[in-house]
Every structure is written in C-alpha cells, then in structure tokens.
Structure 1
Amino acid sequence: MKSFNRSLLALACCSSTLASAQTTSLEAVQVTASRYAQTADQALASVSVITRDDIEQSQALTIKELLVKQAGISVTNSGGRGKSSSVFVRGAASDQLLVLVDGVRVGSATLGSFSFEEVNLAQVERIEIVRGPRSSLYGSDAAGGVIQIFTRRGEGELTVGLSASVGSDSTRAGTINLSGGDDNAWFNANLSREITNGFDATSNGAAPDDDGYKTNGVELRAGFQATENVELGAFYTLTDSENQYDGYSADTTEIITRVVGVNADVQLTDYWDLQATLGRSTDDNKDYAGSTFDSQFKTTRDTLTVQNNIQLGENVLTLGGDIQRDQVRTTTAYDKDSRFNRGLFAQYLLMSGQNDFQFSLRHDRNESFGNHNTGSVAWGYQWNDVLRTYVSYGTAFSAPSFNDLYYAGDYSYGNPDLSPEKSKNLELGLQAEFDALTLSAAIYETRYKNLITWVDQGGWVYSPENTEKARIRGVELTAGYTLADWVLTGNLTFLDTENQSGDNKGNDLQRRPSRIANVSVDRQFGSFSLGADLHAENRRFNNASNTVRLGGSATTDLRLGYAVSKSLSVRAKVSNVFDKEYETVSGYNQPDRQFLLTVAYQPK
C-alpha cells in the first residue's frame, strides 16, 4: 500500500504531462458517442479509441489488459484468463455498460452484462469507449457508458498474416488472417486459437490445482459497394471456449458466443443517409462437474436498428428506432423466458460559430417495465485553436436482468419486485491540444435511484435489492507528451462512491477503487521498440457492507519489439515484473510474473 501511495504521489506531480495509455490522438474518428461519425475532439463526451496498432503495440492477449489502462476504468477478475471479469466505467458496473459488436448489442440477458473474458483480440480492428450515460441514444444498458468493438476489415492486396505466441503457464496462441479489398469490395477472415494451463484461481487453498483455459475463434467480415449510393456488409464472429475453475458443484464451463449481422448504408439524397443493422448475438454456457453435465444458460438476443442522418447545412438531425428481443433457455426455471423492447430516438447536432450543441431524446417501451423516457443536452465551446470545454447533462435507466428477477439457485435467488435503476449525470470537461502535448480533464457526478445491489442475506446466500439512493463523483486527468523519440502517456482517476440509504448508508459501493493511475513510456530505436506500463489502484471493498477490504496494488509491464523486416516482427513482454500478489475479488488470485514471446508476419 505504501508503494502505491508513493507511485500515486509521483504521478500526481506530473499529471499535467501524462495521458491515456494506448489511446489515439483527438483526431481519431469515432461514431459511438453520437451515433454519427465525428473525431474525438468533436464529441461532447469523454471518449477513447484503441486502434489495431495500439493492440499490437501493447502485446495484449486480453481486452482486460487494454481497458485497465484507460481513464476511469477498473476491472475485477476471478482468477486469471477466461475467468469471470467485470468492467467498471466511472464506477458504473458491467450491467450498466452497453457493449456493441459492429453495431449489434451483445451480452447475457441472464447476467445482464457482457462476458469480456470471451473477447478475442485477434478479431478486433478497434475499440471505442464512451464514458458516461448514453441511454438517450441507446436505451437500457447504456447508463454507465458504451464500449463498441469493431471487427477487422480487409483492404488492399490479398494478404495472409500469421502470428504465434508462447508464454508462462504453458500459454500457446496462434492466428491466421486473410484479407483484401478495394473501393468496390473487401473481406477479412481470421482464425485463432489459444491454450493456457493457467494457475490456481482461488487463494484459499480449497482446490489447489491449475485452472486452465482454451479458446478457438473465427471472424468473417465482408462488404461491397452495390451501387454508387448503397453499401452492404455482413459479419460473423464465433468464440468457442473451455474454462476450468473452482466451483461449488461444477468445475468446467463450455462457452460459445456468436454474433452475426448484416448492415446497409444507403445515401438516399445528398443530405439524407439511411443506415440499418440486423443482428443476432448468442451466449451459451454449459457447466460440467468433471464430465457430468450440470447446467446450461443460453441467451439469444435479436436486434434491428434503423437510423436516418439528415444534413441541415452544417447541422445534423438523427432520427431512428430499434427493437430488441431477449430469449433465455436454462436448466433453471424462470418465471419469464423472453422480453421485448422497442425504442425511438432523436438527436440534433447544432454547430454555431465556436459553439457546439447536442440534444437527444429517447422513448423506450419495455415489455416488463413499461415506458421510460431519457434525454441529454450538451454544449461545447471552442475558445481558440488549442482549448475546448464542454458541459453535459443526461438521464438514464437500466432494467434488471433475468437473474436479478427470476434466478433460483442454492446460494442466490432473484427478486421479482425489483424496480429499474434510474440515474442523472452532470459532467464538465476540458480538452487542449498543443504541438507535442495533449491534455484533457473531466469532473462528473452521477446520482442513482433504485441502484441494484446483490446483498448477503446470511449463510452465503445472496439476492438483489434496490438501493434507494447512491452517488458517484469523479475526476479524470489525462495527457500525452512527445519529447524527441520518447512518447509518454498516462492518466489519473479519482472516484468517490457512496451508498446513501439503507443498512449500508455511508459505505463505499463495492469493488470500486477510489484511485487509479496509469503511465506508459515508449521509445523507438531504429528497428527496436521499447515500452513500459505502470498500473496502480488503491484499496477497494469486496462487499456492500464494507467488511471485506482488498489492498491496493501497483504492477509494471515491460515490452520489447524488433522489426526483422517490414513484414516480420518479434515481440516480447514481461507482465507484473515485480511479481506483485494482489486480488481484485476476494478469494481469487491474479497472475504472478508472466512472460510472452510473439512472432508476427503481416505483409505491408
């Protein structure tokens, strides 16, 4: 803990010259914050874009390694690769975070969240992160933010890319990527496989064995210009995994996740663009005790989105709607096994001189919870060529999951009397970009009504309850600095959470660290590249009653790369260099010092 405090003090002293690790500049184009293509410096929100180059430079095998380096994000994990992970964006839990794959909603309707541990980075072209509520554009699940994952898209001459990795815990991974295309048609195909023996997931010694993980991935994406004004595309991703863990009745899970979709972009007139996406995501979990089948939880989510973007001079009017149907099939009986939601949304982007405005409204009709209206308004002001500020206010709601409402198990049970969560958010942001220095800061407050929390009912039995009032406040500082051939990036997050009602009034919300810090340093020496990453978090509480406290941690990663030729590279990474022992969930280990060696061939 003392080492963390020293690291945090040092970072605070230099926070004006450090920024978000592994993020692109403010000129990076993103579409998630407003459902309309903008550069990050145009968006009236806190956004980050992680590109394919960022992914390869980081040498990450998991999305967790990328997300924890972003401002305002913390990740909990229950024992290593493939084990259950939760992503907190500005203190908002995973079930308040909408995840999209190529515009298609994904996630488990039973859990109410997306299984980030099943993301296959070999399939990913870029990741867009929006911190803060977006329910006024996307509806339920977007109360805390949105993460959109875009799969790889081919271009240029037909090429075959290969990569192979070996590392600690007998980790082996390999990918084959075939891609090509031009202005008229393009495609990408990717196959991947990863196997690791893992380590003992639990720290209590109850089941002292290695808990391995293996996964196979397939990604296909293609598109073509049907006419001068019509572009059509289709995509398919599959992840087939087997995860070993230390459980009560089962010890192995087979997980199959699929996303399939088609999309169309039609330029109806010079000022009217129509976009449509039809998709299905499937999350299928089967649990086994040894070779004996134990249980199954399967979610199928069908979505259709239609969006019109109408140019009105320099301004843009967006009108659209979407429908979503969730179905669950489980070996555990649920009172309801399907749910339907319809949403209509409108947005107006207004540009007037140095002022930018964003107005959005949405109406959702949920089969289980009736009608909900959400809205947001934001104003940005460009003071000069360097400095820009913005302020935003938005409302959001999040419907309880099927598990929240209907699950009945040995150690937990649902609560059919739960109400949807509601929230109000206020944010003030600043962005500045100089020749070699970028700076940004955001201060925000979110107030919740009926926040859903799983509470210990005694005897290791848990059930969800509505917390009448809760509050989250935070400050994010990010910056990036280039000095000669050195690139320094990093961020600081200060988070203050509070339960404001009930038996746990005055307590911190569980599993949210109040301080997060990241620093990355990179340098190119001809064909060699060097990099180092520091990630630090202070203490958090594992439960709502704040009786189980987890200590802070600080880990350091080192990276080395060598370009043998323009197309062939060798990369090496050492994670958790100082072999720090820590937990993000009580009772579950995190990886010790890890080594990874990668050889990659990608014609350029």
Structure 2
Amino acid sequence: MRSRRVHVVVLTLLGLLSSSPAIAQGEVSAPRLARWVDADLPPEVSLGARGLRVGLHLLVTPTGEVGEVQVVEPLGAVIDRAVESAARRLRFVPARRGGRPVAARIAYAYEVGGDPLLRASRPWEEADAHRTLEPALASRGGGSAKATSPAEATSPAGTLLGARSPAATSLAGGSPADPPLEVPRAEPEEEEIVVTGARMGERAADAVVATDVIRRRQLEENGWRTVAEALEEQPGVQVVRSFRGAELWLRGLGPRYTLVLVDGNRVPGRSGGAIDLERYASQGIERVEIVRGPSSALYGSDAIGGVVNIIPREPKGELEADAQARISSNSHDGSARISGQPLAGLGVELEGGRLHTDAIPGQEGPATSASARTQNFVGGAVTWGEPRRNQLRLESDYVRTELVGVDAGAAGAVFDRTQLQELAQFALRQRLSRGIVQLEQRLAYSIYREQYLLDQRGASALDSVEENRDQVAHLSSVLRIEGSARHHTTVGGEHLFEHMEAERLAEPGRRTRSALFAQHEYRPLDGRHRLRFVPGVRFDLDSQFGHQVSPKLAARFDLGEDWVFRGGYGHGFRAPSFQELHLRFENPSVGYAVGGNPHLEAERARGIDLGVEGVLSDAVQVSGTLFRNDLSNMITPVTTPEGQAMTLFTYDNLATARTQGVESTVRIAPLEGVSFLGGYTFTDTWDGEHRRAIPGQARHRVTGSVRVEHRPSRVVFVLRGATSLERKYYASAAEGQPEREIVADALTLVDARVTHTFSRTFELFGGVDNVLDVADPYTIVFPRTYYVGLRGRH
C-alpha cells in the first residue's frame, strides 16, 4: 500500500449562486470526508475499474450530506450510475464560516475501490495541517471568498490542489489574484463520533439522543486520574464516595439505576449496587460518553437513570509512547502507554500503571474515614484490518485494587479492614462495513474477585473472611442499514450469562438473559430545518424474572443552524440482583436473619425529557433539559417473623419513587483562549414508601469551570468547582417517633491546575485539589492536596 497514494482530489469549493457582492473575509474551513461509501459494482467490473476516477460536482449541505451530484468526467454508464449512487450517501464534516456550517459546492474525484479514510496514518487534526485548499464559499446572501494554505502538499487522505488548476479558477468564478483566506486547522470535535446513544457510530453533532462527552484533551488538561474524578464535577452528575469506592448518581437515581459500560460491554463487580468508578484509570481512555434518561430500549437492565460508556484509546498512525508521573501531599502515581501501527493494517497497544492514595484519618479514635487505596493495572490490545471496512480488535486488561482501612465496632472493638479486588476482562470486536450496511459483533468475558478481611485488634472472636466471585459473558451483534437518506434502521441481539459465588448467598447465582432490539431513524424533513424521529423497542427474556418489553421514542428538530430541540420518552427496568434473590445471613445472638426472595420481579420505570440547545452568539451557547422519571415495583426491605425468636429481613416489590428536575448549561468564549462552562441542576426527588425526599441527593447543584490558554507561552490554566445545596438525610428516632430530618451544609469543592508544554515531547503540570480545604460529615472528601507532575510523549 502506498502511503502517499492519492484518492480524493478537491479542485475547488463553489459559492452558492447569488448576485450579492463577495462576503467579508472570515474564518473558513473546507468540507472534509467523514464517511465513505463504496460503489456497488459487479466484481468483474469493480476489478477492472479499481483505481480509476469519476469526476463529480457535489453540493455538500450544512448538515454534511450530499444534496446534488453531477458527473462531469464519466467512465461509462454502468460505473457512473454506481458512483453517483454511492456519492449521494457520502457524509462530510460541512464547510464552516465563522464557526457555522454552510453549504458548499465541490469538485470531487471519486476513486473506484479506494476509501481515503482508510489510508490516514495520522489523526485528522495532524493530517489537516498538510492540506492545501482554495475553496470558494458563499453565504446565504451569495458572493464568494477564497482560502488557501501557504503551500500545496499531500496528505494521507488525498491531495488538495490550489489555484494553479484551471478548473479551480473557472469554477470558482474568481481569479488566482483574489486575496486568500487561510483555512484553519479543524478541531477534532467537529467530526467527533459517539456510539452510546445509538449503539453504532454517529457524529456527535447529528445525534438524536443527547450525549455528553469527556474527551481525551479534557482528561489530560484537568489531570483527572480516574473516571470518578472526571465525572464528579460534570453538570448534572453526582459522585458519592464511600469505603467501597466512588459511585455515580444520575438524575436523582442511585448507582444501581445507572449502567456502566467499557467499550459497550457490561462489567461485573457491583458492591452495594454500585460499580466503583475509581477502578478505571484515565491513561487508557479516549473519551467518556454520558447518556441520561431511560435507555433500556437499547441496553436492557439497569439503564434507567442513564448510561456511562468508557471508550478506550486505539492506535493512530506511527508508533508513539506517552508516560506521566505525579506526586502529591497524599498520593503518588505513574503510568505509561505505547501504541501504533508497525505494519499496514496492524495496530498494537500496551499500557500499565500504579495509583496510590493515603487513607484519611477519622476525627476521633483510630477509625479512618477513607481507605488507603493502591491500584495496579496493565492492559493491551491488537487491532487488525481497515477500521471502516473490516476490522478485528482483541483486548484484555487486569486491575488489582487493595483498600486498607480501620473500622470502629460496638463496645470499643477496633477492626483492621482489607479488601482485595481483582478484575480481568477479555473482549473481541469485529466491525464490518459494506456500502449501506454496517455490522458490529462483540464477545466479552469478565471475572471479578473480591476478598474481604476483618481482623479484630486484640481478639479473634469477631474476625471474618469473605470471598466473592462474579463472572459475566456477553455476546452481541448490531446491524445498521442506511436504506436511503431518510431511513436508517438498526437491529440487534445479545446474550448475557452471569454467575456469582459468595459466602452470604444461599446458593450460587446464575442467570441468562437474551434480547432482541430494533430502532428506526426517519427523517421526514431535511434541509435548513431538519426533523428526525427514532422509535425503538427491546424484548428481554431473563431466566430469573421472565420477560420485559422496553419501548422508546426520541425526536430531534433543528431550527436552522443554531437551535436544536430534543424530546424522548422511554421505559426502563432493573433486574433483581443476586443478593436480593439469594442472600442468606443469620445473627442468632441478636435474633434476626437476612434472606433473599427468589420470586422478585424486575423494577420498572418510565421517563420523559425535553431539551433545547442553541447559539445565542458566536461566543455564547446554552442548553436546558426538563426530565421526569417514575419508578414502580421497586425492591425494598420488609420484615416477617421467622419462628418465635427470629425476625427475617427480606425483599419485596412494593416501593415507588419519582425524580424530576432541570439541567442547564452555558458555554461562553469571550476572548481567544478563554472559555467558561457553567451548569445548574435542580433535582426534586420523592421516595413513595417513606414519603420523603431521597436521602443524600442535592436539590441544587452548581458547577463551573474556566479555561485560560496563553498560546505564545504554551500555558493552560484551569479552575473548576462544584457546589451541592440542600442535601437531606434522616436520623433514626425512638420507637413510635418520626425520623429526624437533617439538611446538610452546602458543600463546595474547588480545584485549580496549570500546565506548561515545553515542546511536543514534555509537559509540566501542577495544581491544588480542594482549594478551600472543606470537609463533609456525610461523604468522603479528600483534604486540600498539592501535586506536581511531568508528562512525556514521543
């Protein structure tokens, strides 16, 4: 394969025809190919025509779709018809002027049998630095403006020719002497792909279901070491820390109602219903996607409050290595990663690291308020094939976490507590793309092991050792068919097997769950104003509780280029956990026992949300969402007499709950290199069983971050903070008396960080976490922490 082979030749960008004078010069970026479609030709024709080009004139709309196709350099009727059909299904990152997408006409050379996106050996943003463009763009009022980079060059994605081309001069309707405008290097976010909202890759800007993304650049600039740290200061998200780790709340619902995925795969190891998000180090993460609201129509159980999908990094281009080390007043960590493509079509990556955080002493006595945590991780992956045509990826990783703390028991007993957690994961993924059809298949296996030791100081009567094992095997297949510009259909199926062994289970937990799901995207209105509907449904058959049907309906309306309205309604469910089904624990000395209920049914939920996002000016963007979730058939503890001297605590489907509120954000970029992101969330909750608000959930939460970049000195400063207001807790009272309501004080956390980049190789950073050095009696907050570190790349 020739790395410099030319596949696409862009001769010029044409302005939309109009009699208005030329537009004023401004920031202009050219359309860039985002999705390739092969021409559907008979094998004998395709083989003979491979490498030949058909000259086209395309109209690329502001949405990146191809509105018009004209063959100007034909190869023959059969080939021309196939190429014209394929060209209509190409997708581009649209041309932009002043940051806004605009329509553009381009002269485009379609090469038969050649996908330019497969040839790229570097990320988009690096490849763009080598491009040469001379486009002519037009506003709605007409006119044209030219743009060119300093010199002509080639890139892995193709060759873009300047004004020396006679066709470029005549088609543009101008002359080579016209004053040029430099086409800036496009930001990666403009063509960002997200997968969580649709289970297949789609441009974030086009997603019907709103998806918040924490990108790789943000992880590095903010110094977030784990997914938990990245999420806890995001708008509309609450991370609660305990001795088990960090758990996630979305839209007022606890961690058992949020589904956590790693590259689309379920993971085991819930403790108290929560996945510990500290488990996932940021070194190997490309981005974190957050979808709020019921998503069971695509993902099944647990996806009631929303879905968090952790997307790993993948090799890009030449061999590269990066490593970082950090030391602070209460922690130290280091990690390294190497990845690249040593051979054409072959990608390899290997990473590893260690994170350690000291324990937080308690206010009184020997007990600790937070455990010391030591985490070691190692992982690797191999990819083979062409990423947008046929690619295999095999990956595995191992995480070992040790939590050490001190607990105070009754009658002055003191216990040394040690938890050893191990997680191993293996996954195989295949992606196929042929014309209008995309297929993605996954096979994943994970095993989680936890050993829990309590060692009583000065005695052994209350010593205990427990071991839990949880295994999950997951097979899924998703097929997407883009039948036309107005109809896209996604269908799929998956099979889940889970097995758990634990000392406190009356019997090992085993379950299988099979599911079929489908959704269809319909675009009845396309153009400057766009309307899309996405109905969907999923059928789950579970060996424990039977079947469950989860429908949904989502819609998106684009009012011009600046405003987007979204709405969605869906059902969700949560399957009973093995502990709720099979738990068995007795304490005869106190006279009680705890037992599961094998006859439990799934919890059910219905949710609705309405949102809007828009551009108030070139510097200000806003968004807001109204949401409501109603839960029924919820599993709750109940008591029943067991014999004459024993009380049994068990579970039943009796409770109800409700959460509703508002999520809003504002983004402001008043000056070059200066930006502000603010968020406000109002959450109203109601526990129907106890007739009170859900404890621990902040009624008001305010977040904010300021980023200042001084490009000449290569310095970036980030200041971020979050305030939680009106958190309610409830204290037990004497028998027959109502519970006492406690409203916690406001909790405000502020972090600051500065980064100085010396070159493409080295970066020095330092900062302060919990600048105000606040503490909180209801959740774990680490004291003020100073840190400094160094990152290197090659």
TM value normalised by structure 2 = 0.68
CA distance, structure 2, for counterparts of residue 44 and residue 454 of structure 1: 39
Cα gap change, 1:446 to 1:460, in 2 (>3 Å): farther
| Partner residue, 2:510 | 338
Aligned-residue CA RMSD (Å):
2.7
C-alpha separation between the residues in 1 aligned to 2:199 and 2:637? 33
Aligned residue identity for 2:289: E
Matching residue of 2:561: 385
The residue type paired with residue 359 of structure 1 is P
Shift of 1:548: 4.9
Partner residue, 1:449: 632
Q: Deviations over 1:210-241 (max 9, x none)?
A: 83111111121221117984211111121111
User: Which ranges in structure 2 are unaligned for 5 or more consecutive residues?
Assistant: 1-187, 410-414, 457-462, 588-592, 641-645, 732-738
- Contact 2:359–2:405 under 8 Å retained in 1: no
SS of equivalent to 1:122: helix
Distance in 1 (CA, whole Å) between partners of 2:257 and 2:364 is 31
Is 1:563 paired with 2:744? no
Residue aligning to 1:282: 447
Q: Does 1:254 find its partner at 2:420? A: yes
Contact between 1:297 and 1:330, CA under 8 Å: does it hold in 2?
yes
- 1:25 & 1:441 partners in 2: Cα distance? 21
Aligned to 1:419: 601
Q: Could you list the runs of 5+ residues in structure 1 that have no partner in the other structure?
A: 1-23
State whether residues 535 and 555 of structure 1, in contact with CA within 8 Å, keep that contact through their aligned partners in structure 2: yes
1:333-412 to structure 2, matched below 5 A, reads 333-353=505-525, 354-409=530-585
Any idea what the Cα deviations from partners look like across 1:218-272, whole Å, max 9, x if unmatched? 12122111798421111112111111123466600011112210011122x4112
Contact 1:451–1:466, Cα closer than 8 Å, also in 2: yes
Which residue of the partner structure matches residue 305 of structure 1?
Answer: 476
The letter for the 1-side match of 2:427 is: G
Task: Tell me, in whole angstroms, the C-alpha distance in 1 between the residues paired with 2:274 and 2:389.
Answer: 37
Superposed displacement of residue 293, structure 1: 6.8
Rounded Cα–Cα distance in structure 2 between residues aligned with 1:514 and 1:258 = 38
2:465 maps to amino acid? D
- CA shift, 1:273, in A, is 1.6
Q: 2: CA distance between counterparts of 1:460 and 1:39?
A: 56
Using a 3 Å threshold, how does the CA distance of structure 1 residues 424 and 211 change in structure 2: closer, same or farther? closer
Matched, 1:59 2:241: no
2:513 & 2:385 partners in 1: Cα distance? Answer: 32
Aligned to 2:679: 491
Looking at structure 1, the residues matched to 271 and 371 of structure 2 have their Cα atoms a distance apart, in angstroms, of 25
1:11 maps to which residue?
Answer: none
Deviation of residue 29 (structure 1)? 2.1
Q: Distance in 2 between matches of 1:256 and 1:397?
A: 28
Correspondent of 1:45 among 192, 209, 222: 209
1:290 Cα shift?
Answer: 4.7
TM-superposed deviation, 1:92: 1.8
Identical residues among aligned pairs (%) = 23
CA distance in 1, matches of 2:369, 2:296: 43
Q: Does 2:716 match 1:535?
A: no
In the other structure, the counterpart of 1:10 is: none
Q: How does 1:115-130 map to 2 (within 5 A)?
A: 115-130=276-291
Letter in 1 for 2:698: P
1:232: which partner in 2? 392
TM normalised by structure 1 equals: 0.88
* Cα 1:209/1:492, change in 2 over 3 Å: closer
Contact conserved, 1:321 with 1:345, CA < 8 A, in 2?
A: yes
| Per-residue deviation, residues 550-569 of structure 1 (Å, max 9, x unmatched) | 33201111111111222201
Could you tell me how far apart the structure 1 residues matched to 2:594 and 2:744 are?
A: 26
Equivalent residue for 1:480?
667
Counterpart in 2 of 1:241? 401
Matches of 1:388 and 1:365, distance apart in 2 = 37
**1:305-324: CA deviations, max 9, x gaps?**
01111111022111110010
- AA in 2 matched with 1:270: G
Summarize the Cα distance change of 1:174–1:460 in structure 2 as closer, same or farther, 3 Å threshold: farther
Out of 509, 513, 536, the residue aligned to residue 698 of structure 2 is 513
- Pick closer, same or farther for the CA change 1:464–1:118 going to 2, 3 Å: farther
CA displacement 1:42-85 (0-9 Å, x = unmatched): 22333211111110111112322211222221111115xxx422
Aligned partner letter, 2:669? T
**Contact conserved, 1:44 with 1:392, CA < 8 A, in 2?**
no
CA contact (8 A) 2:664 2:680 kept: yes
Aligned AA for 1:488?
Answer: F
- Asked whether 1:215 is paired with 2:395, we answer no
What is the count of residue pairs matched by the alignment? 568
Residues 100 and 149 of structure 1 are in contact (CA less than 8 Å); yes or no, is this contact kept in structure 2? yes
CA 1:555–1:111 in 2, change beyond 3 Å: closer, same or farther?
A: closer
1:430 pairs, out of 609, 612, 616, with 612
- Please tell me whether the aligned partners of residues 555 and 568 of structure 2 are also in contact (alpha carbons under 8 angstroms): yes
* In structure 2, distance between residues paired with 1:414 and 1:431: 48
Supply the distance in 2 between the matched residues of 1:599 and 1:461 (Cα, whole angstroms): 56
Could you tell me how far apart the structure 2 residues matched to 1:259 and 1:425 are? 32
Distance 1:33 1:107 in 2: 22
> In 2 relative to 1, CA 168–290 (structure 1 residues): closer, same or farther, beyond 3 Å?
farther
Amino acid paired to 1:474: G
Looking at structure 2, the residues matched to 147 and 568 of structure 1 have their Cα atoms a distance apart, in angstroms, of: 32
1:21 corresponding residue in structure 2: none
SS at match of 2:406: coil
Query: In the alignment, is residue 265 of structure 1 matched against residue 425 of structure 2?
Result: no
Please state if 1:602 is matched with 2:793.
Answer: yes
**Secondary structure of 2:783 counterpart:** coil
Query: Aligned in 2, Cα 1:208/1:270: closer, same or farther, shift over 3 Å?
Result: closer
Show CA shifts across 1:265-309 (max 9, x none): 122x41122210000122211112359871111100000001111
1:517–1:464 CA distance, 2 compared to 1 (3 A)? farther
Q: Distance in 2 between matches of 1:227 and 1:454?
A: 49
**Which piece of structure 1 moves more, 47-56 or 461-470?**
461-470
Judged with a 3 Å threshold, the aligned counterparts in structure 2 of structure 1 residues 405 and 109 are, in CA distance, closer, same or farther, namely: farther
